[in-house]
Amino acid sequence: MRRPLLLLAVLVLTATGLVAPTAATTGPRAPAVSTSPAPPLRYVALGDSYSAASGVLPPDPTAPLVCLRSARSYPHVLAARTGARFTDVTCGAAETGDFFESQHPGVPPQLDALSRRTDLVTMTIGGNDSGVFIGAILACGVAGVSSLGRGNPCEQQHGDSFEQTVRETTYPSLVRALRAVHRRAPSARVAILGYPWIVPRRDGCFAQMPIARGDVPYLRSLQRTLNDAVRRAARATGSTYVDLNRASDGHDACQPIGTRWVEPILLGTNPVVVHPNARGERAMARQVVRRLRLR
């Protein structure tokens, strides 16, 4: 009679709530699975006209007019793709010094946009420092016109002075700027892009880019040196370098519409010459997504 009495007692106690059913006492409850969505990335875009997409229509209506910022820049493409909480302080003609000081009246230093809550920072910067890269394009253009596209007059006039300035002045300025970004946004992923190719490996296209034929490899070498300085600065500061050398090869300003990512000086579609078009900006965004594995 003991076993029937024991079963009866368990049934009575269970019914009155004094003993939990066996199934409920077999182990701890599984933790509840959260169904709330992840918070959006806090994304800040810094940088110069290649990040602002200067000249690409339509302009960003929220930007200072002097910054020539486009609503189709690669940061805007990234922000739309990721659903980020987006702050854009890119500005045409920006140098690394404009991270620390106001570039124009009413335009704060770019570093002011960063905080400890920033998750992602992107930029192109360095091409305007010391006027070396843009200065070289202008100088080689003048020399090319004066020689009617023959020879290498720009290289003969300037030698390795442009590349020396990049190594000795631009590189340390990039390191300083990137270190400051990490101090302001210590939890952020910081990505700096190289510049897409402006001229092909050789020959060129004098009618569109009035660079003497022999100076085309000279300018290409200068851009390679600049991109290498960006790469080395990224490595020295724990930043991510987004390499555009391979991706942009064959998409330079000498290529036809629909292929080129950068617009030429003459016969182009962008009022701001020697700058990426909308296709180029989308391509830059794709490279950032791949390099950072963004969703």
DSSP string, 273-288: SSSB-HHHHHHHHHHH
- C-alpha 99/C-alpha 108 separation (Å) is 9
Which residue has better confidence, 98 or 5? 98
| Rounded average pLDDT over 167-196 | 98
Q: Which residues are catalytic?
A: 49, 275
In the three-class reduction of DSSP (H, G, I as helix; E, B as strand; rest coil), residue 36 is classed as coil
- C-alpha 189/C-alpha 292 separation (Å) is 9
- C-alpha 161/C-alpha 183 separation (Å) is 33
160 pLDDT more than 60: yes
Q: Which amino acid is at 90?
A: T
241: its two tokens = 């370098």
When pLDDT is cut at 50, 70 and 90, the band that residue 36 belongs to is: low
When pLDDT is cut at 50, 70 and 90, the band that residue 295 belongs to is: confident
Cis peptide before 58 (omega within 30 of 0): yes
33 pLDDT more than 70: no
12 pLDDT more than 80: no
Q: By 3-state DSSP, what share of the chain in percent is helix, strand and coil, each rounded to 5? A: 45, 10, 45
- Cα angle 49-164-96, degrees, rounded to a multiple of 5: 30
* pLDDT score of 37: 76
The residues, ordered by sequence, that sit 6+ positions from 167 with a Cβ below 8 Å of its Cβ are: 225, 229
- Phi-psi region for residue 169, left (φ > 0), alpha (ψ -120 to 50) or beta? alpha
Mean pLDDT across the chain, nearest whole number?
Answer: 91
107 pLDDT more than 70: yes
* pLDDT score of 24: 42
| Rounded average pLDDT over 10-18 | 37
- C-alpha 85/C-alpha 75 separation (Å) is 12
7 pLDDT more than 50: no
H-assigned helices in 53-92: 74-82
Edge-to-edge order in the sheet of strand 189-193: 85-88, 42-45, 120-123, 189-193, 240-242
Taking only Cα atoms into account, the Rg of the chain, rounded to an integer number of angstroms, comes to 28
* pLDDT score of 184: 98
200: its two tokens = 């092909």
24: its two tokens = 């409920």
- Cα angle 21-10-14, degrees, rounded to a multiple of 5: 45
Four-CA torsion 250, 255, 256, 258, nearest 10 degrees: 40
